């Protein structure tokens, strides 16, 4: 997928002007937040579980190599195969190779952000394999040639009218005058169309919410059941997972599982949590004949041991973006790559480079709401600030901003001069703004005054007045 993060500013402006998108985003703002609040309130142990979940992931990350080896050993012992991919290109190659060996023409897919990260769909299409997304949201955006705008609700930027238009355009085998008003009818239509794909696919590709080292198990969590049909019906099941998905044991998985759905959709438990271990067993009447896991690194091993290691605790629940005022304002596509919102603002620069994704960690008010709702207690603002430090060190900050900052800091470090100039400046501004109390336009503050007035200073500084008063009074 092309990295459009450098155009963040333009994309955000376009998003702010898109009335339809703004209507869709309004729903994120209310629904996700209310549902999460209820889900969290239903579990008194939520805070304690967050602490423990963080400890579990930290324990794993400090021993990631060993847990990966243990996991691989268990997968292999139960007849599965583990493939290691250093980067996106290797991962795509491994998947295509497996598809070719199986003579696969149609590949069904459960929702996988790793698949988006490695740009799998376009690659498979180029090589004659047809990927079919089966999560309703993913299916909708695949029909529209779009990318997800949210990591758990990929089509959250669309309204029902747009979905209806896409179905009408794509499902030409159905009567054009069919009833499509209710969302139920659209879901039923997708169910019908995709059922055939499920039954005819040669390979099923899913992501993984967890990989369990104890048992060599991959876990997917869905509400629709599409992931299950994807991995259950074709001859070959391929799991795409990044290396940090490892948890030690079934019990550790359960700790984090209690946080995941509550943080994501507010459910106490998603409808389907499925643990898969290896291929079809002797006596089984269904299930895949082959079970493959593609373990993707793609820069993550370099995050271990750095100030960005905490990001590897992320379980992709989406709570940070649901609660982010910037995401709520501009939506996911503005971020210009696979991962939007606060988690994307931290992760994207590590995966595509801070030179390209430099806007993302800057486009935050540091309001801290993301960190406060993150089930894994990832210090997202702090890591965004680390990116800003790297940008500052590498002189990736716009020159005029940097000059302004340096000038301000120069004065801030020289209280006497600061005092003289500030006193003078505020007196002048105070006098100029005295009557109206605010400025509708002001040189050097055009960005501010384009949208709002700038309150005028009262005139004189506090310190100046304090000195005078105390000098006179005591």
Partner 1 sequence: MQTTETARPRTALFVTCLVDLFRPSVGFAAVKLLEAAGCEVHVPVSQTCCGQPAWNSGDRADTRAIAEQVIIAFEKFDYVVAPSGSCAGMLKKHYPEVFAGDPAWQARATAFAGKVSELVSFLADEMGMAAVEATCPAKATYHDSCSGLRELGVRDQPRRLLASVKGLKLAEMKEADVCCGFGGTFAVKYPEISNAIVGEKAANVEAARPDLLLAGDLGCLMNMAGKLKRQGSAIEVRHVAEVLAGMTDAPPIGEGRR
Partner 2 sequence: MSGRDDILRRIRASLGSGDGEAGRAQAVARRLKRHPRGIIPDTGADTGADTVARFVDKARAAAATVETVRSANVGKAIVDFLRAHNLPQRLRAGADERLRRIAWPKGGEPEILAGASDGDDVTGLSHAFAGVGETGTLVLLSGADNPSTVNFLPENHIVIVDAADIAADYETVWTRLRRRFGASKMPRTVNLVTGPSRSADIEQTLIMGAHGPVRLHVIVVTG
Contact yes or no for 318/35 (Cβ under 8 A)? no
Check residue 195 for interaction with partner 2 (CB under 8 A).
yes
Strands (E), 306-348: none
Cα angle, residue 393 at apex, residues 388 and 395 outer, rounded to 5°: 90
| Rounded alpha-carbon distances, angstroms, from residue 436 to 26, 209, 345, 429 | 35, 57, 40, 12
Distance of CA 258 to the CA centre of its chain: 20
DSSP 53-115: HHHHHHHHHTTHHHHHHHHHHHHHHTT-EEEEESSHHHHHHHHHHHHHHTT-SEEEE---HHH
Question: From partner 1, partner 2, none, which one binds at residue 195 (CB under 5 to 8 Å depending on kind)?
Answer: partner 2
Of 80, 87, 377, 50, the residue nearest 243 (C-alpha) = 87
Strands (E), 254-338: 272-276, 290-296
Contact yes or no for 338/147 (Cβ under 8 A)? yes
Q: Binding residue for partner 1 (CB under 8 A) from 462, 472, 473, 474?
A: 462
Residues ≥6 apart with Cβ < 8 Å to 350: 299, 300, 302, 303, 308, 311
Question: Contact letters (x/-) for partner 2, 169-188, by CB under 8 A?
Answer: --------------xx-xxx
Stretch that binds partner 2, among 9-17, 173-181, 264-272, 462-470 (CB under 8 A): 264-272
- Residues in 77-116 that interact with partner 2 by CB under 8 A: 78, 83-86, 90
Check residue 290 for interaction with partner 2 (CB under 8 A).
no
Check residue 23 for interaction with partner 1 (CB under 8 A).
no
Residues ≥6 apart with Cβ < 8 Å to 464: 419, 423
Check residue 284 for interaction with partner 2 (CB under 8 A).
yes
Question: From partner 1, partner 2, none, which one binds at residue 184 (CB under 5 to 8 Å depending on kind)?
Answer: partner 2
Q: Binding residue for partner 1 (CB under 8 A) from 330, 338, 343, 357?
A: 330
Question: Contact letters (x/-) for partner 1, 425-444, by CB under 8 A?
Answer: xx------xxxxxx-x----
CB of 404 to partner 1, least distance (A): 9
Phi, psi for residue 452 in degrees, rounded to 5: -150, 160
Reduced to 3 states (helix: H, G, I; strand: E, B; else coil), residue 12 is helix
- Residues in 402-431 that interact with partner 2 by CB under 8 A: none
User: What distance in Å separates the CA atoms of residue 123 and residue 131, rounded to the nearest whole number?
Assistant: 10
CB of 25 to partner 1, least distance (A): 10
Q: Give the residue with the Cβ less far from partner 2, 158 or 383.
A: 158
Extract the tokens encoding 245: 């998905």
Q: Give the residue with the Cβ less far from partner 2, 18 or 90.
A: 90
Question: From partner 2, partner 1, none, which one binds at residue 169 (CB under 5 to 8 Å depending on kind)?
Answer: none
- Residues in 58-77 that interact with partner 2 by CB under 8 A: 59, 62-70, 72, 74
CB of 108 to partner 1, least distance (A): 38
Stretch that binds partner 2, among 203-211, 246-254, 427-435, 461-469 (CB under 8 A): 246-254
Extract the tokens encoding 375: 């089930």
DSSP 423-469: HHHHHHHHHHTTTTSEES--TT-HHHHTTS-EEPP-SS-HHHHHHHH
Q: Binding residue for partner 2 (CB under 8 A) from 10, 89, 249, 372?
A: 249
CB of 348 to partner 2, least distance (A): 20
CB of 413 to partner 2, least distance (A): 36
Check residue 306 for interaction with partner 1 (CB under 8 A).
no
Q: Give the residue with the Cβ less far from partner 1, 135 or 391.
A: 391
- Residues in 389-418 that interact with partner 1 by CB under 8 A: 389-393, 397, 401, 405-406, 408-409, 411-413, 415, 418
User: What distance in Å separates the CA atoms of residue 335 and residue 341, rounded to the nearest whole number?
Assistant: 7
Chain residues binding partner 1 by CB under 8 A are 9, 12-13, 16, 325-326, 328-330, 362-369, 371-372, 382, 385, 387-393, 397, 401, 405-406, 408-409, 411-413, 415, 418-419, 422, 425-426, 433-438, 440, 447-448, 450-458, 460-463, 465-467, 470
């Amino acid at each position: 997928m092309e990295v459009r993060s450098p155009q963040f500013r333009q994309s955000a402006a376009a998003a702010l002007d898109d009335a339809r998108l703004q209507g869709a985003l309004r729903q994120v703002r209310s629904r996700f937040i209310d549902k999460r609040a209820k889900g969290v309130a239903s579990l008194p142990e939520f805070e304690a579980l967050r602490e423990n979940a963080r400890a579990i992931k930290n324990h794993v990350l400090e021993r990631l190599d060993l847990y990966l080896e243990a996991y691989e050993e268990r997968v292999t012992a139960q007849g599965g195969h583990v493939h290691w991919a250093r980067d996106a290109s290797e991962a795509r190659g491994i998947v295509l190779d497996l598809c070719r060996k199986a003579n696969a023409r149609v590949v069904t897919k459960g929702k996988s952000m790793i698949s988006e990260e490695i740009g799998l769909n376009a690659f498979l299409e180029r090589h004659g394999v047809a990927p079919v997304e089966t999560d309703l949201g993913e299916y909708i955006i695949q029909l529209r040639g779009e990318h997800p705008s949210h990591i758990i609700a990929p089509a959250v930027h669309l309204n029902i009218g747009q979905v209806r238009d896409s179905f009408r355009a794509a499902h030409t085998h159905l009567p054009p005058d069919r009833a499509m008003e209710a969302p139920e009818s659209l879901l039923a239509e997708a169910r019908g169309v995709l059922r055939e794909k499920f039954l005819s696919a040669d390979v099923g590709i899913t992501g993984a919410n967890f990989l369990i080292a104890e048992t060599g198990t991959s876990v997917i969590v869905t509400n629709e059941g599409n992931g299950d049909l994807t991995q259950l019906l074709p001859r070959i099941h391929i799991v795409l997972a990044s290396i940090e998905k490892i948890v030690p044991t079934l019990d550790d998985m359960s700790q984090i599982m209690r946080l995941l759905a509550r943080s994501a959709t507010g459910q106490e438990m998603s409808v389907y949590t499925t643990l898969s271990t290896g291929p079809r067993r002797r006596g089984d009447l269904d299930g895949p004949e082959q079970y493959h896991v593609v373990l993707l690194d793609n820069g993550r091993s370099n995050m271990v041991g750095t100030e960005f290691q905490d990001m590897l605790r992320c379980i992709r629940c989406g709570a940070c973006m649901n609660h982010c005022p910037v995401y709520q304002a501009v939506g996911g596509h503005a971020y210009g790559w696979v991962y939007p919102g606060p988690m994307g603002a931290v992760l994207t620069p590590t995966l595509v480079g801070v030179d390209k994704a430099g806007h993302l960690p800057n486009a935050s008010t540091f309001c801290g709401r993301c960190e406060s709702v993150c089930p894994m207690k990832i210090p997202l603002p702090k890591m965004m600030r680390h990116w800003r430090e790297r940008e500052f060190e590498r002189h990736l900050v716009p020159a005029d901003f940097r000059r302004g900052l340096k000038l301000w800091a120069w004065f801030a470090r020289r209280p006497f001069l600061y005092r003289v100039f500030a006193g003078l400046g505020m007196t002048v501004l105070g006098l100029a703004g005295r009557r109206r109390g605010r400025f509708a336009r002001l040189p050097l503050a055009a960005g501010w005054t384009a949208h709002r007035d700038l309150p005028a200073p009262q005139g004189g500084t506090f310190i100046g007045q304090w000195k005078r008063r105390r000098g006179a009074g005591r």
